[in-house]
Amino acid sequence: MTRPGWNAGDRRWRLTALLAVGAVVLALVATLVGTRSEGPGTAGTTRDGDAVHGTPAPAREPRPYVGWGFTHTQYSADQGPAAATARVARILGRGGGLPQNQHIMGWGADNPEPVEGHYDFGALDRRIDFVRASGGTPVITLCCSPDWMKGGRAGAGGTDWSRTALETPPTPGHYQDFADLAATVARRYPDVRHFIVWNEFKGFWNDAAARWDYEGYTRMYNLVYRALKKVDEDIMVGGPYLVMDSVDPRDPNASTALRGPWGAMDQRVLDAFGYWNAHKAGADFAVVDGASYTRDDELLPDEFAATRKFTAVGQWVRRQTHGLPLWWAEYYVEPGDGDGERTGWSEPHRVAVQATGMIAMAEGGAGSGFYWNPQKRTGDCAGCLWTPTGAAGGGRTLPMYGLLSRFAGAFPPGTRYTTVSVAPDDVPNVRVLATRRTVLVVNTLARTISARIDGKRFDLRAYEVRWLDR
């Protein structure tokens, strides 16, 4: 007996439909099972991350300082037409090369370990190759960390490159994984003898306590320190790479112990440095960074006098660490605009304030410092060391390179500075740094002046930076 609403034709159609749906479900299940079994993508990765890459530079006696150099950022001279990149390599190689710092992830380097145990060092290899070709001393900053170490997803090609993600540190459960990655990097590049642990305490802020999570950073630092020393006891390791923020002296977090005409240090930064210094497993050098201006972009009393902050901070750090070699991983003298661009000053003005800042760092006891090179792919490049290498005619030196290279050659680590006579009326207008062979003079005014320095009177153009032989 046939029930109402059900006939043979309907029955065949429904049976076919059910069979089709079943097939789709089975296919979907098979796909999901297959996806789970394959795991995150590993295309383009290798398992031998610690295999020595290329031809390492000849071994040098490791010392806890490297001198004055620069940090590679997103765009640098490792890419572009061969004529342009080779031109920069030749320029940098003159006089023995400059120290060059590179991060392991970000700022031109890809995710080094997108899946646990699977490595992608292609971009980092290329940067290290460039440092070697240009005769530089390589320095590696161990930042940032793969996504799977900080709660993100693993997988080649799926890295979250947002600023928030990039600046998130490993979770505590992955501190050892990050230390293992650091050891892998050290084995891959045995000619890299200097490592900086992390960058600016990124992600190590304790919201609940409104202070830095210096306990978490120090725990990770110690694991990395021990892992690197296990690879080679002679590897040099430093931290904590804190931003030495200064504030208005009336700020509630202003330090009462470290202040000057340039403002006052944020006491929370000093507390973080003090904890790391007291609880570190060891350190071959101390690393800080910072700007001459306050956190609110105030240049107190002015852009030249504000640089004396570098001297005060350097002297304080040296006292706390009982004389550890001091590095400035980054240093800034020109506030950025809303987009972080520093293009408001003329190049002579920029170079003059930069020279004054470097003098201040040297007077504070620093023997190493890295200029954060704001290189671009193409176009004008305010404050850059060379013209962009995106075209064959690029890679030509700019005024900032002239200052950096000359400073590095004249004032290497261990330099003994001497006094130089400056006429009393000229003292407010110039800054000087001298050895028994060289004098660096900076005119801090936007007009030509006549000054008597080291027994000689001469004119200095507006914002002129001049080198004198003694």
Taking alpha carbons only, the member of 443, 440, 447, 361 closest to residue 402 is: 440
Which pLDDT does position 30 carry in this prediction? 40
Cα-based torsion angle of the residue sequence 301, 303, 308, 311 in order, rounded to the nearest 10 degrees: 150
383: which DSSP letter?
T
In terms of phi and psi (left: phi > 0; alpha: psi -120 to 50; beta: otherwise), the region of 263 is left
pLDDT score for 338: 81
Q: Listing from the earlier edge strand, what are the strands of the sheet with 254-260?
A: 246-247, 263-266, 254-260
Indicate the residue type of 258. L
Q: How far apart are the C-alpha atoms of 244 and 292, rounded to whole Å?
A: 9
pLDDT tens, residue order, the chain (470 aa): 333 333 333 333 333 333 343 444 444 434 444 444 467 899 999 999 999 999 999 988 889 999 999 999 999 999 999 999 999 999 999 978 999 999 999 999 999 999 999 999 999 999 999 999 999 999 999 999 999 999 999 999 999 999 999 999 999 999 999 999 999 999 999 999 999 999 999 999 999 999 999 999 999 999 999 999 999 999 999 999 999 999 999 999 999 999 999 999 999 999 999 999 999 999 999 999 999 999 999 999 999 999 999 999 999 999 999 999 999 999 999 999 888 889 999 999 999 999 999 999 999 999 999 999 999 999 999 999 999 999 999 999 999 999 999 999 999 999 999 999 999 999 999 999 999 999 999 999 999 999 999 999 999 999 999 999 99
Q: Look at residues 71, 65, 96, 66 and name the one whose alpha carbon lies nearest to residue 371.
A: 71
Q: Exposed (0-12), middle (13-18) or buried (19+): which is 278, by Cβ within 10 Å?
A: exposed
Between CA 415 and CA 363 the distance in angstroms is 11
The pLDDT of residue 278: 98
Residue 38 confidence (pLDDT): 63
- Taking alpha carbons only, the member of 142, 171, 177, 148 closest to residue 41 is 148
Cα(377)–Cα(353) distance, integer angstroms:
25
The 10 Å CB-count burial string (b at 16+, else e) for 366-388 is bbbbbbbbbbeeeeebbbbbbbb
**Residue matched to tokens 């005060």:** 312
Closest CA to 144 of 118, 171, 179, 168: 168
What Å distances lie between residue 468 and 353, 355, 400, 426, CA to CA? 18, 15, 18, 17
pLDDT the model gives residue 59? 82
Q: Give me the pLDDT at residue 50, please.
A: 96
Q: Tell me if 41 sits within 8 A of 158, measured CB to CB.
A: yes
> Tell me, what's the pLDDT at 359?
98
DSSP three-state, residue 422: strand
